[in-house]
Amino acid sequence: MKIIMLGAPGAGKGTQAKKIAEKYQIPHISTGDIFRANIKNGTELGKKAKTYMDQGLLVPDELVCDLVVDRVQQEDCRNGYILDGFPRTIPQAESLDRALAALGESVDYAVNVEVPDENIVNRMGGRRACVGCGATYHLVYAPTKKEGICDTCGAELILRDDDRPETVQKRLGVYHEQTQPLIDYYSKKGILKDVDGTMDMGAVFQAITEILGA
């Protein structure tokens, strides 16, 4: 079962990806994790990626795809995997399809967690992070016992710059411009599955498992 997760930043796709990975016993793969692992292990691909990152440049699509394809050929991906945060653009999607086709494989599902922008801005604006241990909370969905104080270490909580409404709006703008076309791309391939991400977390997960076949 080879799955790609789609959805705007803050739509909750990362949370759902982890739950799917647990249920179906398949690896949850994010490009960030792949980069870190390859750089840490000093692989040839990791060294190449690091030269770009050290200069503050984006890692080229072709190299990102090589890193992903290298990862999905590992033993733990034999029964499938779930890709989170890749592909982000049409060229990346085409590159991935070509590489998988060369291995005689293809993506089974592209699951799109749909949440209106307005909901995302409100949702992310309610997030709070601990300055001490990094734990995250939400004013509505996961509040602390004492307002503004971390349950775990007692340090104060802050609204991260990433979660400020103006930053979220910018990120959503980039998402709609770059990643939204992927929805049409996978729709034409007949593997796109839309899920209403405004439901509570459990209901979203249930809807996804019904698509994948519980």
List residues with catalytic annotation.
13, 88, 127, 160, 171
CB atoms near residue 30 (< 10 Å): 16
- Contact 136/129 with Cβ under 8 angstroms? yes
- Contact 143/35 with Cβ under 8 angstroms? no
Burial code of 132-145, b = ≥16 C-beta within 10 A, e = fewer? eeebebeeeeeebe
| Integer Cα distance of 196 and 213 in angstroms | 17
Can you point out the beta strands (E) in the chain? 2-6, 28-30, 81-84, 109-114, 127-130, 136-138, 157-158, 192-196
- Only one residue has tokens 């072709």, namely 62
